[in-house]
Amino acid sequence: MSALTINHNILANDVARNLSSSYSSLSTSTLRLSSGLRINTAADDAAGLAVREIMRAEIASLNQGVRNANDAISMIQTADGALGVIDEKLIRMKELAMQASTGTYSSDQRLIIDSEYQAMASEITRIANATDFNGIHLLNGNLSGANTTHNGNGIVSTGPMKVHFGTSNDSSEDYYYVSINSSTASALGVGMGATGADGKSISTQALAQKALAALDKAIISKDKIRASLGALQNRLENTITNLSIQSQNTSAAESQISDVDVATEMTEFTRQQIKVQSAVAMLSQANNFGKLAMQLLG
């Protein structure tokens, strides 16, 4: 039982301590409700904060991986679009070779036909050399190869390109290699730059007939490149779907740890608010208890 004293108001001190505790809890609830977060500082939940930050880093990496994969798809679509134009040129060259293969044309007429044939071959090479994505040439052979990685250290970047989308670099599950063979006329075996003799020219009936087989091979080579790019695009689209699901599920788990339950926290806020109001009222009463001692002295 507390004594009635003048120097110390023990009852008021107890009420003030309870008021401080309730006010601190009310401040915490106010901060959580205003920020929407259950964990605002490490003191709120040290272990939860560590787990949350790891998850946030994972989510950010997954979302960037989605963007990386989308960039790779855009690059593939750029290359495929250019190959579609090259396809049109090869078809026209096949048509010209067929035209020059028949005996109803004179030598001079075949030379005229061959001039368009060579122009188409030059255009194929120009397209292959000019097609780039963000400064990276796609169809001139710089991305060809199977055993070396794309090297961006030099002025000219060469080798297969690594498209990174995983959150680490531990295995091939985190990246793909994009390898695109050269699509120049010489690489396809047509035009004056071709290494073989069959597709160089259609200036004579015999050369035109031989060029038909070379053009078939060129079309097949081009189709193999397009098929490879199409398959890789499908893989990347599936990868984006998987990464998006991972990001969504990790975000949900992070929310369970980090976000405040508004209904529960509002109940706690109301409880602490009532306690603070009650403590303030009781502190006012406790501060008046000293007057009782004065009444005894009077």
pLDDT in tens, 130-142: 999 988 899 998 8
Please report the sign of the dihedral spanned by the C-alpha atoms of residue 278, residue 281, residue 283, residue 289. Answer: negative
Express as a percent the part of the chain with pLDDT over 90. 49
Are the C-beta atoms of residues 178 and 161 closer than 8 Å to each other? yes
- Cα distances from 236 to residues 63, 166, 250, in angstroms, run 14, 12, 21
pLDDT in tens, 197-256: 789 999 999 999 999 999 999 999 999 999 999 999 999 999 999 999 999 999 999 888
Q: Indicate the domain borders of the chain.
A: 10-36+260-297, 77-235
Please report the sign of the dihedral spanned by the C-alpha atoms of residue 61, residue 66, residue 71, residue 76. Answer: positive
Are the C-beta atoms of residues 56 and 91 closer than 8 Å to each other? no
CA angle, residues 197, 198, 203, in degrees to nearest 5: 95
Class of domain 77-235: mainly alpha
Nearest alpha-carbon partner for 183 in 281, 81, 108: 81
Nearest alpha-carbon partner for 157 in 146, 172, 141, 169: 141
Rounded Cα gap, residues 263 and 270, in angstroms: 11
Are the C-beta atoms of residues 83 and 233 closer than 8 Å to each other? no
What residues have CB less than 8 Å from 101, skipping those under 6 apart?
202, 205, 208, 209, 212
Tell me what the mean pLDDT of segment 42-70 comes to: 90
Q: Which residues pair with 161 in a beta bridge?
A: 178
| Confidence check: pLDDT of 115 > 90 | yes
Average pLDDT value for the chain: 86
